[in-house]
Structure 1
């Protein structure tokens, strides 16, 4: 069997990237594409090293592979705490097993698809990309199904938690509903969006931004854009498209806070990479909550 090292490297970089990408999603750790690529290259270089120096048997051992996984996670995610590191490492192993299981399944149904030798996964030229594609699709379906089950089992629709929003010198404390249907993201930065009632947050907003909502001009995008453009907070504000909250093809005016705090006491979590979407209506009929929080922030 002929092995093309450039194809082997590319295959491993792609698979490693997908595994690390899924790890970042499941662990709710936001990592740049550059970091993901760097971790992928670390894993791929190990495979190339084994091919160039096959006589060094120590690198085929379980200990060596565990050390490699530790290094990949450290390079990609650089978690500051030991507890966080072990959590991400465990999710990395789970992601790897899911991808490996999907790949083995397709190898089983396509006996000419590839083989495993000395711990290296080889995919033959006539099926490599199709198998990687179908393996990735299968993994996405599996993760989606199990993620929905986890959310349904552990994140109830009536779960309300404390939320603190800090913007410049203003601080607002309110309660947020963990809403599994809130999948809004800022189209520019892909940051998750927390939907908050205007009346609950207006005290920390600049006066010119308050006027937009008090005069119900938020749906007049031309006028709202003019006001925001003239505001000194222009760089902090966003326009976020949405198709829920009782309206299709709508647009929320949002802003980037200094940070938010979710939960309380020992479960408190600070998040800075987030957008607050301002909703000029009531979210709760009985006023139990004033915001809708995405499950990925919990």
Structure 2
């Protein structure tokens, strides 16, 4: 019986690089499909792809030791991608799973086509030696290039990092800390006092509001104006009704209030103001959950 000597350095290094590649691909799929996913889940999903990459390279190094199952189309076309997506994004509804796996296949096929085209051109014209490391770098680069060209993921993430600010809202002994996006298109002002308006996701502030205010917000969001909506006396001077013409409505009405103080931190500088209105928005402002409020440039003095 012939002995086969297999060196594991290439399969192990290929598996590690494949782990990073597949984790990055899953991250890009999450960004495109607006699916929230934690880094440990991405690492788990990428590890499944890395383990399969190890099997492929081990099969190649051993001259077909695992041939009968590792090259099966059912394995690399369906089982591995489905396991990766499920591990990274679980729990998933059927519709959500089909959306995410569709983006995964789309990016995977595009990347495969790009690599095939580069290899074909190289073999015909250039005859360069493309090492595993260079192929890894190209693969990562093309993931980001496809995400940017197709869906603007890269510049959106860069923009979010530049324009995201931690804010702190204080009123009546309450203290709420959120991440806010600088919205240069936010020109909302209180029609009475003309002060700028911060838009905050209602779900992040409702637990800190009095029941009477919550009841009033609920009625107004349903388009009802009831006469028996009594609110605490100290809230009567705080509550504001704000007309707007965006955020998914041509003509809408938001409820807001005047806090005691709002502070916005920008690097080593902090901006404070008590001339601001906080308005409630009953939907998610960020699909990825990276921010929960919108602040106008006026808050930063610009």
With the length of structure 2 as denominator, give the TM-score of the two structures. 0.51
Kindly state the Cα deviation for residue 55 of structure 1 after the two structures are TM-superposed: 4.0
Residue among 117, 131, 145 paired with 1:105? 117
Cα 1:142–1:271, aligned 2, differ >3 Å: closer, same or farther?
A: closer
Cα 1:261–1:58, aligned 2, differ >3 Å: closer, same or farther?
A: farther
Residue among 12, 29, 43 paired with 2:18? 12
Match of 2:89 in 1: 77
Cα 1:147–1:47, aligned 2, differ >3 Å: closer, same or farther?
A: closer
Kindly state the Cα deviation for residue 147 of structure 1 after the two structures are TM-superposed: 1.8
Alignment check: 8 A CA contact 1:165 1:260 kept = yes
**Cα shift readout 1:111-149 (whole Å, capped 9, x = no counterpart):** 39xxxxxxxxxxx7x633233323433342333222259
Decide which moves more: 165-174 or 29-38. Answer: 165-174
Cα 1:45–1:103, aligned 2, differ >3 Å: closer, same or farther?
A: same
The whole-number CA distance in structure 1 between the counterparts of 2:89 and 2:67 is 29
The whole-number CA distance in structure 2 between the counterparts of 1:42 and 1:56 is 19
- The reply to whether residue 59 of structure 1 matches residue 70 of structure 2 is yes
Residue among 178, 201, 204 paired with 2:256? 201
Residue among 104, 126, 142 paired with 2:146? 142
The whole-number CA distance in structure 2 between the counterparts of 1:252 and 1:130 is 49
Cα 1:144–1:252, aligned 2, differ >3 Å: closer, same or farther?
A: farther
The whole-number CA distance in structure 1 between the counterparts of 2:32 and 2:245 is 22
The whole-number CA distance in structure 1 between the counterparts of 2:289 and 2:27 is 21
Cα 1:131–1:43, aligned 2, differ >3 Å: closer, same or farther?
A: closer
Match of 1:30 in 2: 36
Cα 1:36–1:132, aligned 2, differ >3 Å: closer, same or farther?
A: same
- The reply to whether residue 277 of structure 1 matches residue 294 of structure 2 is yes
Kindly state the Cα deviation for residue 57 of structure 1 after the two structures are TM-superposed: 1.4
Kindly state the Cα deviation for residue 39 of structure 1 after the two structures are TM-superposed: 0.8
1:110 counterpart SS class: helix
The whole-number CA distance in structure 2 between the counterparts of 1:21 and 1:71 is 15
Alignment check: 8 A CA contact 2:82 2:101 kept = yes
Match of 2:134 in 1: 130
Match of 1:239 in 2: 265
Aligned pairs, number: 196
Match of 2:105 in 1: 93
Kindly state the Cα deviation for residue 8 of structure 1 after the two structures are TM-superposed: 1.4
Match of 2:283 in 1: 262
- The reply to whether residue 165 of structure 1 matches residue 191 of structure 2 is no
* Cα RMSD for the two superposed structures: 4.4
Cα 1:62–1:22, aligned 2, differ >3 Å: closer, same or farther?
A: same
The structure whose Rg is larger is 2
Cα 1:164–1:96, aligned 2, differ >3 Å: closer, same or farther?
A: same
Residue among 211, 215, 218 paired with 2:260? 211
Kindly state the Cα deviation for residue 61 of structure 1 after the two structures are TM-superposed: 1.9
Alignment check: 8 A CA contact 1:252 1:278 kept = no
Kindly state the Cα deviation for residue 12 of structure 1 after the two structures are TM-superposed: 1.1
Match of 1:245 in 2: none
Kindly state the Cα deviation for residue 251 of structure 1 after the two structures are TM-superposed: 6.1
